[in-house]
Amino acid sequence: MKAIMIIYNQAHTEKIEYMLDKLEIKGFSMWENVQGTGTNTGVPHLGTHAWPEINKSVLTVVEDNLVDKVLDTVKKIDAINEEVGIRAFVWDVLKTV
């Protein structure tokens, strides 16, 4: 199993929710008002007067066969408008309770 965290500009919310539904990913946690900035080209998303944009994030644990489908979808979303911002990170899940 793999954990996937997706951090995205709140403008992508509907696309992310659609992806989770389309891929039948039932278990996930979402956070709103996630602040940060991209590593290389990202502008700050801090929810302030100077930097008003804000991010959200979602964390899900899925079977290995879904990882590429999720990452492919994230790439497609990003390709539509790279300026808006979306990134996905994958970790191995060694144990769950």
Residue 34 backbone dihedrals phi, psi, to 5 degrees: -90, 125
Cβ count near 73 (within 10 Å): 20
Could you tell me the pLDDT band of residue 24, with boundaries at 50, 70 and 90? very high
What residues have CB less than 8 Å from 93, skipping those under 6 apart?
Answer: 1, 2, 3, 61
Helices (H), 39-83: 64-80
The phi-psi region of residue 36 (left if phi > 0; otherwise alpha if psi is between -120 and 50; otherwise beta) is left
In tens, the pLDDT along 41-86 reads 777 888 888 888 899 999 999 999 999 999 999 999 999 988 888 9
Question: Helix (H, G, I), strand (E, B), or coil: what is residue 38?
Answer: coil
**Domains in the chain, please, with CATH?**
2-38+47-86 (3.30.70.120)
Q: Is the model's pLDDT at 39 over the cut of 80?
A: no
